[in-house]
Structure 1
Amino acid sequence: MGIRKIDYEVCDGCRQCTRICPEDVLRFDQENHKPLIQYLRDCQACFLCEIYCPRQAIYVTPYRERRAVMPW
């Protein structure tokens, strides 16, 4: 579950997704003027970023995925 992708070709860098996220999953990249998925494991799939994106550039998946086990 969580943010599946951000379509950077559609995204205009409005920062709405970084402001609306209650878990602070997204961070804004000052160099590229685009949001980055910084803390994917914290995403609760609330769909707020997808709903409030004015350009529909974010896709959140409701399905649980198996992510790679990290060695720490």
Structure 2
Amino acid sequence: MPISSINGCIGCGECVKSCPTDVIRLNSKGKAEIKYPDDCQICHLCRLNCPVDAITITPEKSIPVIVSWG
């Protein structure tokens, strides 16, 4: 499982909106929850768009973030 946890979620939904593979969903309490961890492409978009740094990606699955400047 690439994403290890979502702690401190404020329920803004930015991670849900930014995930290209629809891995994260808001649960009945309005908090982000990892529903399909095996489908995660480790793109880091959820982590980069989280305003409170609530998402942690496991070190063994983490890859360097590559930012295109063009």
Q: Over aligned residues, Cα RMSD in angstroms?
A: 1.3
Structure 1 stretches lacking a partner, 5+ long: 65-72
Which has more radius of gyration?
1
Counterpart in the other structure of 2:9: 11
Aligned length: 61
With normalisation by structure 2, the TM-score equals 0.79
Runs of 4+ in 1 over 2 A off after TM superposition: none
Question: Identity over aligned residues, as a percent?
Answer: 44
Counting only pairs closer than 5 Å after superposition, residues 1-72 of structure 1 correspond to structure 2 as 2-7=2-7, 10-29=8-27, 31-64=28-61
With normalisation by structure 1, the TM-score equals 0.77
Alpha-carbon displacement from aligned partner over 1:6-59 (angstroms, at most 9, x marks no partner)? 00xx21100000000001001111x21101100000001111111110000001
Q: Which has the higher strand share?
A: 1
Letter in 2 for 1:18: V
Structure 2 stretches lacking a partner, 5+ long: 62-70
